Structure 1
Amino acid sequence: MYLSIVMPVYNGEVFIVEALESFFTQYHDQIELIVIDDGSTDDTYKLVSENFKEQITKGALVLCHQSNAGVSSARNKAIGMARGKYVTFLDADDILLDNYTNSIINVIESYDMDVIEFGFKTFIDSENINSCDDQFVHDNFGLIEFKSIKNVVYEKSIWYPCIRVFRKTLFNNYSFPVGVRFCEDMMVLTKIYENVEYVYHIDCALYGYRINESGATRNIRPDYHSNLLTFYHSLPKVDATHIDYMKINLSYLLYKCYNGTKLPLIMRIEFLKLFLKYAFDRNLNSRKKLILGFPNSHRFLKRILSK
């Protein structure tokens, strides 16, 4: 088995059939799809079991149910079950684009890679997805020594696991943090990427990411703040540009999840030092710099602009 696609789902009845069909219309017998129903209270499990009986019988689709424990728990369970040499992820409200399976299988057969990356499209209505622009984490394609693009990847901070294929053994020492409901992808993938030597970046958008107004990335809550703070303190204590970029992006998220509690003084001083160090860095956008150097001003401007 070349590849295991992991799908965690909770109450995904609206889109899950479309998501699964986007795989089975381009099915490859060296790929399995593992769906973990995380205690759904709607008809998710029923829809999958009734619409994909044949695929379940053949073993192409593995369907499991667990009591609600969160997306990280569901992903970790599926990774433990996976038979593939590589693993990747598919969210229940997203879709796989044309040529997804062939493109990835071709790279797996041709290269012994740690990570395979590819582009994506963001969409609201899948019928109009072909008119959406291709998006990429970075602009280098083909076989790449990861250290040559490390700073760019960390600066962009696009940590969607669904636009990457991972050698399964990379998860031997790491798992998605259970109980964390926001930025759990970033928390595990940044650790995994510290051990990556080579990546292969496919010059094509293969994944469709649906803009979901009810998703976690669109509904940030103040209680996400403590988990981000804990992750910040876990970062390596080294002087490296990619770690600086990680801290700068975390400062943006911490202030975005502001819950009325002041950050520790030592962190505020560190953010100010980073602002002074990277104030003229053209790679960083102005909003991140503003939050880094003047967090209170950013909140004031946000209130003014929202009126």
Structure 2
Amino acid sequence: MSSQVSIIMATYNRAHFIVETLQSIQNQTFSDFECLIIDDGGTDNTQDVIAPILAHDHRFTYHKRPSQYHKGLPGCRNFGIDLAKGKYLIFFDDDDIVHPQNLECCVAELNQPEVAFCRYQRAAFEGDFDYQFDYSKTYTKFAVYSKDVEKMLTYKLPFNSCAVMWRKSCFEQNRFVETLMFAEEWELYSRILASGVQGVSINKTLFFGRKHYNSNTGEFSRRNEMRIVSKKDAVLLIVENLNKKNMLTPTLMRFFVQMALGYKKYNLFSEILSKLDLSFGRQMYWRILYTFLPFRLSLIRLRKKLTS
């Protein structure tokens, strides 16, 4: 029989973390789920350390990523989507801790027919996790609409990859871009939101991300070339998609133009303009803004410093 929720967990050489993560999933107050563990070709003893869980809890299954899916997180997740039997999908990482009420709270919201996704709060931790959970079922919430894609992309309403449960139907026409090695969920989730779905955001922390040196985010912060190029490529895909849908607002365009300042080495600004069918006048407007933006930002920082 199909489970109501499909949890998709990509893993790669995380034998030292994954058991604690799987145990936090076993402790869910909502039990009607399957957990698909997708190994990306790891070389450690992950399969051995999770063997007892696989043997005694048949909701958990282990799969190796087939060669037709690209190596990396997006390919593993796409494989998981294709395997999933559940009505709802959620992506968990192999080194984090899941709140016991995560699935219960999300499914309760998704049982409303107009809700296509449930976003929730995520917290970060380092070292040993403090298992003192807030079990309150009282929280505030608000609706999220397609127009909120601007807030999502500018991080005013961040959509962390592991902090949203989706209806599986959201992925009928959408998949992760498998060539992206960073910001792949930022690109995909913006595409889904821009398609016109409606969801809900609840103000309850239901996921705890482990901060450590070897995470993708950590590598991006250290200016890993592969992660930086992937973020640049994600920006171009987003710009192209929003432009086709007439959703590339002046605010978003300014946001991406400012972001391009940090990607001069990769000619991001020029590539953004190449994706748009702009008049000569509009092109000149954005070129002038891009040229003088560093001076303007410097003046803003100076003004803040003087008035603080």
Q: Give SS of 1:189's match.
A: helix
1:92 corresponds to: 94
Q: CA deviation at 1:275?
A: 9.6
2:193 corresponds to: 193
Q: CA deviation at 1:41?
A: 0.5
1:49 corresponds to: 51
Q: Is the 8 A contact 1:118 1:205 kept in 2?
A: yes
Deviations, residues 271-295 of structure 1 (Å, cap 9, x unaligned): 974996xxxxxxxxxxxxx999229
Task: Pick the aligned partner of 1:260 from 253, 256, 265.
Answer: 265
2:105 corresponds to: 103
Matched, 1:141 2:131: no
Q: CA deviation at 1:209?
A: 1.1
Question: In the superposition, relative to structure 1, how do residues 209 and 97 fare at CA in structure 2: closer, same or farther (>3 Å)?
Answer: same
2:169 corresponds to: 169
Question: In the superposition, relative to structure 1, how do residues 259 and 224 fare at CA in structure 2: closer, same or farther (>3 Å)?
Answer: farther
Deviations, residues 142-192 of structure 1 (Å, cap 9, x unaligned): 4x2514644322321623221101111111112111132111111211111
Question: In the superposition, relative to structure 1, how do residues 232 and 81 fare at CA in structure 2: closer, same or farther (>3 Å)?
Answer: same
One-letter amino acid of the structure 1 residue matched with residue 4 of structure 2: Y
Q: Distance in 2 between matches of 1:291 and 1:94?
A: 42
Q: Give SS of 1:181's match.
A: coil
Q: Distance in 1 between matches of 2:272 and 2:148?
A: 27
Q: Is the 8 A contact 1:28 1:101 kept in 2?
A: yes
One-letter amino acid of the structure 2 residue matched with residue 164 of structure 1: V
Q: CA deviation at 1:69?
A: 1.2
Q: Distance in 2 between matches of 1:140 and 1:246?
A: 32
Q: CA deviation at 1:93?
A: 0.7
Question: In the superposition, relative to structure 1, how do residues 65 and 294 fare at CA in structure 2: closer, same or farther (>3 Å)?
Answer: same
One-letter amino acid of the structure 1 residue matched with residue 265 of structure 2: G
Instruction: Give the alignment's Cα RMSD to 1 decimal.
Output: 3.6
1:82 corresponds to: 84
Deviations, residues 92-150 of structure 1 (Å, cap 9, x unaligned): 01110132122123223344421111111111134337599xxxxxx9824x2514644
Q: Distance in 1 between matches of 2:291 and 2:54?
A: 48
Q: Is the 8 A contact 1:248 1:274 kept in 2?
A: no
Aligned ranges for residues 288-307 of structure 1 at < 5 Å? 293-294=293-294
* Structure 1 unmatched runs, 5+: 133-138, 277-289, 302-307
Q: CA deviation at 1:7?
A: 0.2
1:62 corresponds to: 61
Q: CA deviation at 1:228?
A: 3.9
Identical positions, percent: 18
Q: Distance in 1 between matches of 2:48 and 2:197?
A: 42
Q: Distance in 1 between matches of 2:19 and 2:288?
A: 46
The answer to which of 66-75 and 221-230 deviates more is 221-230
1:248 corresponds to: 255
Q: Distance in 1 between matches of 2:5 and 2:52?
A: 24
Q: Is the 8 A contact 2:119 2:159 kept in 1?
A: no
Deviations, residues 234-254 of structure 1 (Å, cap 9, x unaligned): 3232664657437625753x5
1:128 corresponds to: 130
Q: Distance in 2 between matches of 1:88 and 1:264?
A: 34
Question: In the superposition, relative to structure 1, how do residues 240 and 102 fare at CA in structure 2: closer, same or farther (>3 Å)?
Answer: closer
Q: Distance in 1 between matches of 2:18 and 2:191?
A: 30
Question: In the superposition, relative to structure 1, how do residues 292 and 48 fare at CA in structure 2: closer, same or farther (>3 Å)?
Answer: farther
Q: Distance in 2 between matches of 1:121 and 1:174?
A: 27
Number of aligned residues = 274
Q: Is the 8 A contact 2:110 2:116 kept in 1?
A: no
Question: In the superposition, relative to structure 1, how do residues 66 and 270 fare at CA in structure 2: closer, same or farther (>3 Å)?
Answer: same
Question: In the superposition, relative to structure 1, how do residues 293 and 42 fare at CA in structure 2: closer, same or farther (>3 Å)?
Answer: same
Deviations, residues 4-54 of structure 1 (Å, cap 9, x unaligned): 111000001111001000010125342111110111100111111234311
Q: Distance in 1 between matches of 2:253 and 2:13?
A: 32
Question: In the superposition, relative to structure 1, how do residues 141 and 81 fare at CA in structure 2: closer, same or farther (>3 Å)?
Answer: same
